[in-house]
Structure 1
Amino acid sequence: MGGFAYQHTQKLVMSFEMVQHTYEVNVELEQILSYLKDAETGQRGFLITKDTVFLEPYYSSRENSNNSFARLKELTINDEIQQSNLKNLSILIGDNLSIFDKSLKYANKNGTNTKGFYALLNEGKETMDNIRVLINEMITHQNELLEIRKKLSDQSLTNTPLVIYSVLIITLLLLLLTYSKINKDLKVLKKKNIQLEIFKESTNQSEIVNKHGNWTFFINENRFEYSDNLYRLLGEQPQSFPSTIENFLEFVHPEDVDQLQEDVDKMMKEENLPFIFYRVVQKNGNIRHFKAYGKIIVNNDNQKRLLGTTTDITDEVESYKLLEERNLELEQNNKELSSFNHVASHDLQEPLRKIQTFISRLEDKEVDNLSEKGILYLNRIKTAASRMRLLIDDLLQFSRTNKSEEVLEVTNMNLILENAKQELAETISEKEAKFTADAIPVMEVIPFQIQQLFINLIGNSLKYSKEGINPIISISHSIVKADDNLNLKKPKFSNYHKLTFTDNGIGFDQEYAEKIFVLFSRLHNKNQYSGTGIGLSICKKIVDNHQGYIFAKGELDKGASFEVFLPLK
């Protein structure tokens, strides 16, 4: 409160200084005008009398006006209006003094009774009038400031006694509040003590439930304290033996004693205990796995204590071992499935090649000997064999996309897109498809898989284009925030690259938007449109491999769009 009163007094002093400052500015402005008048008078006296004595006030007024101008610039440094006015005043004064010099030189050379001399006199008079007007404006501005500052000063003078008495009253109130607060804090302290007792008991129960015990190493006294449950973890009754490191080591597994002793020695030396793992053997022969951790705490008296926690992690260790066994089994099964898928696909291709070879020979050599029905059957066999080859190729492609061990690379996505279009160049040319595409920034992706994604999505648009209408395919890119897209369920990244593939094809009913990503799922008759129902499943798998999302939107006879979200890392 004393600081507040001092601040108010300083504010009062400052208001006096501001009033004085305004007077100083006005004085300097009037001084400049006076010096300029002296210079004008000295010039006229010299012109009339030709006596150089009259030039002394002319030259001295120049120096004096410069000093006053510098003083004014310093006094009004925080006033933007006056600073601007000073710049204009400087220009006018310079012009005025320049005209004085020209007039003297002209009078000496051509005399005073000439038109040229009178023109210079009129120009000097006009400049001097402008100086007077500008100085009057500046003085008016200062007078306005003076009125404001006088009001503030008077207000400060009026408020000072009130502030002083208010400070005293508030100080008394604060003393009363302090007394009340201390009394209230005593009641709270009693309540906290009760809560502490409850918390202590709750901590003991928590140790039992979570199978951990606490210990404290008093560094300055070189002694330990063990919680009750730490004894229970060792299979002993609480506080059944002195809490020393030597007694504790008697329970440690023989193979772990040396390492634990080394960790304890290091803990005492470095006053720190990172996570350590060891085993203990209870008296009944049970082996338990322990994990321990300690952190140093220094109190206000510079007393050091290492607070530690020891946890029984036997169940975690056994679960981890079981999980490892299950993972090994799963990994082996995956390898067997992958091997089976690969071998089966390749083994299927051999008889299929023979079937297609014999079909080709029948077409070349025996087609004339076949009946009309035989030719029909032959064509159906040929179509079925081609479809089976396409199915095997797609299965192999899907098998490759299941492998997520490929490393992400910083990739030029525009180049990947061009490669995909080159793969489909024949179909694009045949259907006279038109493309529009945004520039796509580089991303961290698996290049081969992303190229396959682009091929499948563009190929899908080409396949399901309208009869007799050139396909128009647009590819747009934007960066979006995960929070702004409700479709992104549990996103792992804050921002995503959004790639949208839009076409003007036959589209589809929106109710099938999720079904089309299911393996072997088809919305159209295989006789109408070729395909195996695997292409979009491959797209879904590729996007999943990149921790992204893919969504489909469609409307019958109006086209379809696919939105791909890839993480921005």
Structure 2
Amino acid sequence: MRGQYMSVKIDFLRSFFESGKYADDKSLTGQIADLFPAIIYTCDIESRKLDYMNLQFTEYFGYPDEVIRHTPNAIYNLVHPDDVNLVKHELDKLYADDPDVDACTYESRLCGRDGNCRHFKTNGYVVRDADGRAASLLFIAQDITETLRSRQEADSLKKLSVETEELLQFGTWTLEVPGDTMTWTPGLCLLLGYPKEEAGAPVSKSVYFDHIVNGYRDGLNEIISQAMLAESGFDYEYVVQTRNGVRKTVFTKGKVVMNDQGTVEKILGITRDITAIRNFEKEQERSIRELNRSNKELEEFAYVASHDLQEPLRKISMFSERLKLKLGNALDREGELFIERVMVASANMRLLIDDLLEFSRINRSSHNFNLLALQTVIDQAIADLELKIEETGSTIRVSGTLPKVEAVPSEMKQLFNNLLSNAIKFRKNNAPAMVDIICSKLAREEKKAWQLPAERTFYKIDIRDQGIGFDEEYADKIFLIFQRLHGKTEYPGSGIGLAICKKIVDNHNGIIFAHSEPEKGATFTVILPEKQF
């Protein structure tokens, strides 16, 4: 509508200039030309000089009237140097006075008084006198800078859209319901094995559905029909066969579009190639099954091996004890030492087997979580360690009130029992251990730092001692099974206790870590969720 209106105004101006009345700039028509939203000027064909310029011309270019009117070919002074040849080529057609050529249209940059150049679409017309001879040329130049910029932005967005579809392996389509015709984007063409240049051309709905593998075709048809009745969206996963015979798993999400009469006008859909995702998921499931099977076998092996070692170990301990009692007076000092070493080794072996069995049990935990008060768990752990605490003169202090969390009671008890026992064991020079238990709720920034869900509540429990500590470079190593930083004679143990702690915390979707410096104590930190997820 706007284009037709502009065409009428241009025809009116052309008729006005052909009448020869435009010399009177004060006429009503001249005033209309000044109000016209375009630069208007005329050029005498014989002299090649401009003989009329409207107000917009003067305001944009800013040349003095007497200079512009007396300069032949002044038109070319208005044009950007890079566009001059293009303009000359078009104007030469009009200057030739060919009866079959009386108009031209071209786009060029015109440079204004401020030195800036803008893009204009110029329509040039031959103005003839009463005898039909070409007398002058009429130019109407409309500023299209913003239109061109919008066009360039649209082209860039279209190119980006095509590249995005290709990168993410998806395409969109439109189904015209009354005619059952579809249009595809380049991404969908590539997905189905067609050249992307074929995008946008209407195709029958059957062309698309012929690519759907039997067993899925009816399902998609049914879902689309239901969506049309319900006037709702839909999604469907199915398998297609491309033009080249390659099978792909795709996922389509669609939307029904209604017209003003309340009937379905079209269906818009996005179809994405998810073959790689589904293949990865299948491979991952296979790997998980294989890993679970392997872990189960290892757990069973560790359990059976540890359990079966109990009996021969019991006999070694028993017969060593009997041998010592029976031959005690007959043995020399060296013999007594040998038997003593056998008994100590048996005790260490028994401790190791017990810890292995416990580690295996933790791995096979059924995770029966209950709401549990951590204060109660700490009290029980302290009670279990009462004799050791009294023997060493150690002190365990709890700061504040410990929260309630969803946990496995027996595992939580063992976790804190191991950590507190560890703090007492590694005290300085047999001095009393001073252990502080401090609890706080994690702030949002802390949860973000540990990549924990922001919407869930987590508690941090620090077990801080003043013992011998360790070098920070071993902070991760100490949680590995059988890893020890000290000799058995100096600090007895199996090297499994902290590995059990880590396994328990992992089972509770938590985090455990430690910070320490030699001779400056250690802090073991346990982060637990309030509720399991």
Partner residue of 1:410? 371
Q: 1:509 to 1:284 in 2, by over 3 A?
A: closer
SS in 1 for 2:442: strand
Task: Give, in angstroms, the shift of residue 195 of structure 1.
Answer: 1.3
Match of 1:137 in 2: none
Q: Separation in 2 of the partners of 1:416 and 1:322?
A: 42
2:386 and 2:288 map into 1 onto residues whose CA distance is 44
Deviations 1:170-199 (A, max 9, x none): xxxxxxxxxxxxx99974343122211222
Give the 3-state SS of the residue equivalent to 1:272 in structure 2.
coil
1:263 matched to 2:223: yes
* Conserved? CA contact 1:493–1:568, under 8 Å: no
Once the two structures are TM-superposed, the CA of residue 245 in structure 1 deviates from its matched residue by 3.0
Distance 2:335 2:167 in 1: 80
Note closer, same or farther for the CA distance 1:354–1:482 as it changes in structure 2 (3 Å cut).
Answer: farther
Structure holding more helix per residue:
1
Alignment match, 1:454: 416
> Separation in 1 of the partners of 2:151 and 2:365?
58
- Name the aligned partner's letter for residue 507 of structure 2: N
CA contact (8 A) 1:272 1:306 kept: no
Alignment CA distance shift 1:553-1:283 (3 Å):
closer
Measured on the aligned residues, the alpha-carbon RMSD in Å equals 3.4
2:294 alignment partner in structure 1:
333
Q: Which residue identity is paired with 1:198?
A: S
Kindly state the Cα deviation for residue 277 of structure 1 after the two structures are TM-superposed.
1.2
Change (3 A) 1:292 1:415: same
1:252 aligns with 2:252: no
Structure 1 or 2: more strand by fraction: 2
Q: 1:63-114: per-residue Cα shift (whole Å, max 9, x none)? A: xxxxxxxxxxxxxxxxxxxxxxxxxxxxxxxxxxxxxxxxxxxxxxxxxxxx
Question: How far, CA to CA, are the matches of 2:404 and 2:529 in structure 1?
Answer: 12
- Please state how far the C-alpha of 1:332 moved relative to its aligned partner: 1.5
What is the match of residue 488 of structure 2?
Answer: 526
Q: What runs of 5+ residues in structure 1 fail to find an aligned partner?
A: 1-182
AA at the equivalent of 1:372: R
Identity of aligned residues (%): 35
Residues in 1 aligned to 2:338 and 2:407: alpha-carbon distance in whole angstroms? 47
The offset of 1:343, in angstroms, is: 1.4
What does 1:481-496 align with in structure 2 at a 5 Å threshold? 481-483=443-445, 488-493=449-454, 496=458
Alpha-carbon distance in 1 for matches of 2:503, 2:519:
28
User: In 2, Cα distance between the equivalents of 1:201 and 1:509?
Assistant: 57
**Deviation of the 1:553 alpha carbon:** 3.8
Q: What is the Cα deviation at residue 456 of structure 1?
A: 0.6
- State the distance in 1 between where 2:452 and 2:469 align: 29
Q: Which has the larger radius of gyration?
A: 1
Residues 307-350 of structure 1: CA deviation (Å, up to 9, x unaligned): 21112223333333333222222221111111112112112222
Q: Relative to structure 1, is the Cα distance of residues 404 and 292 closer, same or farther in structure 2, using a 3 angstrom cutoff?
A: farther
Does the 8 Å contact 2:404/2:530 carry over to 1? no
Matching residue of 1:552: 514
List runs of 5+ in structure 2 lacking aligned partners. 1-119, 121-141
Partner Cα separation in structure 2 for residue 417 and residue 472 of structure 1 = 16
Q: 1:226 to 1:272 in 2, by over 3 A?
A: farther
1:286/1:369 CA distance change after superposition, 3 Å? same
Identify if the C-alpha distance between structure 1 residues 469 and 248 changes in structure 2 by more than 3 Å, giving closer, same or farther.
closer
Within a 5 Å distance, the mapping from 1:113-132 to structure 2 comes to none
Equivalent positions of 1:34-53 (< 5 A) are: none
Instruction: Give the CA deviation at 1:454.
Output: 0.3
CA distance in 2, matches of 1:427, 1:185: 92
1:422 aligns with 2:383: yes
State the 1:203 CA deviation: 2.2
1:250-280 CA-partner distances (Å, limit 9, x unpaired): 2322222222221121122223343201122
The CA distance in 2 between the partners of 1:468 and 1:329, in whole Å, is 48
Q: 1:246–1:511: structure 2 CA closer, same or farther, 3 Å change rule?
A: closer
Does the aligned pair in 1 maintain the 2:182–2:203 contact within 8 Å? yes
For 1:454, give the aligned amino acid. Answer: F
Flag the 1:257–1:496 CA change in 2: closer, same or farther, 3 A.
closer
Distance 2:396 2:488 in 1: 27
Any conservation in 2 of the 1:342–1:396 contact (CA below 8 Å)?
A: yes
Aligned residue runs from structure 1 range 173-188, under 5 A: 187-188=145-146
Contact 2:447-2:454 at 8 Å conserved across structures: no
For residues 509 and 212 of structure 1, the distance between their equivalents in structure 2, rounded to whole angstroms, comes to 53
Q: Normalised by the size of structure 2, how large is the TM-score?
A: 0.64
Match of 1:35 in 2: none
What is the distance in 2 between the residues matched to 1:300 and 1:543? 61
Paired residue type of 1:188: E
Aligned length: 387
> Out of 194, 198, 202, which is 2:156 matched to?
198
Map 1:267-306; keep pairs closer than 5 Å. Answer: 267-282=227-242, 284-296=244-256, 305-306=266-267
